[in-house]
Amino acid sequence: MTTSLSGSKLVLGVSGSIAAYKAAELVRLLKKAGAEVQVIMTADAERFIPALTLSTLSGKNTLVEIFPEQAEGTWTQHIELGLWADLFVVAPATAQTIAKLAHGFCDNMLTAVALAARCPMLVCPAMDHDMYVHPATQANLKTLDAHGYHIKPPEHGELASGLIGTGRLPAPTAIVDEIAKTIALQQSTASLQGQHVLVTAGPTQESLDPVRFISNHSTGTMGYALAAAAQQRGATVTLISGPTDLETPAGVQRIDVLSAADMAGAVAKHDDAHMVIMTAAVADYTPAEKAQRKIKKGAGDLNLTLTRTQDILAGLGANKKPGQVLVGFALETDNLEENARRKLEKKNLDWIVLNSPNNAGEGFGTTTNRVTLFSATGTQKSLPLMDKAQVAVAILDEIEASTKHSL
């Protein structure tokens, strides 16, 4: 399992696109992730996939009709479902359903529940390229965006028509990840309002010469998720980032650096932050000499001398500001707990987050992580394997719950 949605109540609206067949896999993955799923289909969607398939996979009778003489349940079911759901996902969302949602039409069960829903909405458009790029559809999507709907854009690729273009429904796994992110976002509060949170993320690059460097496999995903989660709680967030392919989370101030020394310099300028979370995989060693010109190969081997870099976090720990919360990350392959606790103490941290690349779905380059938190006060908390956005929320929850007095 890649994502936990344990206890989440989801309404899945399926409209009439060929991509409706992907709804079966989506329901299966959502159930596997622990969600309760109520499927609602349009009559057109039933032409592509039988309601019975989705009822069997979801364990709930799929709803199509809105009127009680045709449907099971009561006349007010569309209102009740809108109140029940934590999230309403429309996947696939056709141009027609998007148009109806944008303009408040409610002539079928899907659109009626959507109009009555108090929960967040996630819309996953799927259609032919020309229908998607048409100004009418784009204007409707803009309207939904203005209404606060989350939109997962379609992908580029081969379409049912045989044409190549934008309009493909993303893979069910990608939609599950988007659902997890949207729910995590919803659960956030303004609990870090007025706080400055400094996050470091990604690898560092240590140059050997103008064309080569030593680095590691960190992608920065965990740090970016923490920066986004802290920003969503109202914090002023500074993200000091090594090279990554990630987009800067909305509202976050990002400072790009390359080497461990650059990162140390950037951190020093923000070392009075209320909370510092060091997720960066800072190089421990850097070439003793950086050649000004490209090193040319010789007849024999090349020996490199590496010197230790400055331990940024240990430096912050040694000069900890009153009330400041310092959080380190430990990526360990052996003696996991012992090494994590040793770093917690040695660097004078308040928290250390232990993770390990030993198991699938954990550590570098994954969208998920399983971590254990150790605090200076002796608490220990193991979290389940979750999407990194959810791990970030859980880490902040844990830290905030036990450090309320100092934050």
Closer residue to ligand CTP (CB): 120 or 357? 357
- Which residues, in sequence order, are bridge partners of residue 10? 37, 87
Asked if residue 27 binds ligand CTP (CB under 6 A), the reply is: no
Can 303 be counted among the known catalytic residues?
Answer: no
How many residues sit in the footprint of ligand CTP (CB under 6 A)?
14
Q: How far is the CB of 312 from ligand CTP (least distance, A)?
A: 3
Residue 371 in the binding site for ligand CTP (CB under 6 A) = no
Q: Collapsing DSSP states into helix, strand and coil, what is residue 281?
A: strand
Q: What is the DSSP letter of 161?
A: T
Handedness of CA 316, 317, 323, 324 (dihedral sign): positive
In angstroms, the Cα distances linking 267 to 48, 261, 272 are: 55, 10, 9
Residue 288: which of 367, 232, 206 has the closest Cα? Answer: 206
Kindly state the smallest distance separating residue 120's Cβ from ligand CTP, in Å.
33
Q: Give yes or no for residue 328 binding ligand CTP (CB under 6 A).
A: yes
Could you write out the DSSP letters of every residue in 130-181? HHHHSHHHHHHHHHHHHTT-EE-PPEEEE-TTS-EEEEEPPPHHHHHHHHHH
The least CB distance from residue 97 to ligand CTP, in Å, is 46
Give the H or E element holding residue 8: none
Select the span of 10-18, 92-100, 306-314, 361-369 touching ligand CTP (CB under 6 A).
Answer: 306-314
Which window, 21-29, 225-233, 234-242, 305-313, contacts ligand CTP (CB under 6 A)? 305-313
How does DSSP classify residue 256? E
* Residue among 260 and 393 whose Cβ is closer to ligand CTP: 260
Pairing outcome for strands 121-125 and 87-93: parallel
CA atoms within 13 A on the CB side of 126: 28
Single residue of 176, 280, 396, 399 touching ligand CTP by CB under 6 A: 280
| Near ligand CTP by CB under 6 A: residue from 11, 175, 260, 399 | 260
Judged by CB under 6 A, which of 42, 221, 236, 309 binds ligand CTP?
A: 309
Q: Residues in the site for ligand CTP, rule: CB under 6 A?
A: 260, 278, 280, 282, 284, 309, 311-313, 328-331, 343
Show which residues are catalytic. 216
